[in-house]
Amino acid sequence: MELNEYQKKCLNTWIGGEKLIRSFLGVCGEAGELSEGAKKYLRGDFDVEELKKRSIGELGDVLYYVSVCAHELGLTLEEVGKFNNEKLAKRFAEGKIRGDGDKR
């Protein structure tokens, strides 16, 4: 499935008000749920196979909110992905993958 096709399908279930801010909060909330699995994995609650099983749903939830957030900002998921790929490729080419901050 292409990214923009996925994004359009997400909009079929994207209902309710305050969509712009709610989409940002959705990304944060679902990223938190994703990290819960990693926390419990590190605590030794389950193995990596269980982490994978738990993470597929949460990764999908993060992707959903990223998709609708991009839409609310007038961006396609393809544009977001392309921007990110190009940013990271530039950093890699310049030997700046390590470190922090957006201005590398």
CB of 10 to Mg ion, least distance (A): 14
For residues 33 and 79, which CB has a smaller minimum distance to Mg ion in the complex? 33
How far is CA 20 from each of CA 8, 66, 97, 100, 103, rounded to the nearest angstrom?
A: 16, 11, 31, 27, 26
CB of 3 to Mg ion, least distance (A): 20
d(CA 53, CA 74): 33
CB of 33 to Mg ion, least distance (A): 4
d(CA 56, CA 61): 9
For residues 35 and 85, which CB has a smaller minimum distance to Mg ion in the complex? 35
| Residues at the site binding Mg ion, with contacts judged by CB under 5 A | 30, 33, 58, 61
